[in-house]
Amino acid sequence: MTQHGITREIKIRICIAILSILGLLACFAGLFPQVRHIIIDLVEQHIVHKKITLYQSWFEMLLSYSMGGICFILFFDYCTLTTSGRILVRSIKQEIKDCLAAIDFRSLVRPTLIILGVYLLGILTIIRADFLYNDDIGRSIEGFRGWYNWSRYVSEFTSIFIHADTNLTDISPLPQLLATIFLSVSSVLLVYVMGNRKTTVISLLASIPLGLSPFFLGCLSFKFDAPYFAMSILLSITPFLFRAYKKTFFFCSVVSLLMMCMTYQAASGIYLLIVVMLCFQDWNYRIKPDKEILSFLWNAALSFCIAMICFKFFFMRHNEYLYDTDAVSSAMHSISQMIPGIWVNIQNYATIVYQDLGLTWKICIALVCFFFVMKSVSTSSRNIFLSFFISVFIISLTFVLSYGIYLLLKYPLYYPRALFGFGAFTAIICVYVVADYKKIATIPVIALSWCFLVFSLSYGSALADQARYAEFRISIIWHDLNAMYPYSDGITMQLNNSIDFTPSIKNVSKHYPIIERLIPKRFGVDVFFDNKYYLDHFNYGNSAIANIPAYTSIDYSDLNLPVVLDTYYHTIQSDGKYILITLKH
pLDDT at site 38 = 62
Q: What is the pTM of this model?
A: 0.87
Q: How confident is the model at residue 381 (pLDDT cuts 50, 70, 90)?
A: confident
Q: Are 131 and 463 in contact (CB under 8 A)?
A: yes
Q: Are 314 and 65 in contact (CB under 8 A)?
A: yes
**Which H or E element spans position 291?**
helix 290-310
CA angle 447, 449, 451 (to 5 degrees): 70
Tell me the backbone φ, ψ of residue 317, rounded to 5 degrees: -95, 140
Mean pLDDT on 297-321: 83
For residues 286 and 22, the model is more confident at 286
Average pLDDT in the 217-241 region? 94
pLDDT digits (tens, 9 = 90+) for 322-363: 444 454 556 787 788 889 999 999 999 999 999 999 999 999
* Mean pLDDT score across all residues of the chain: 83
265-297 tens-digit pLDDT: 899 999 999 999 999 999 998 888 989 999 999
Helices marked H in 379-434 — which ranges? 384-401, 421-434
What are the backbone angles phi and psi of residue 572, rounded to the nearest 5°? -115, 125
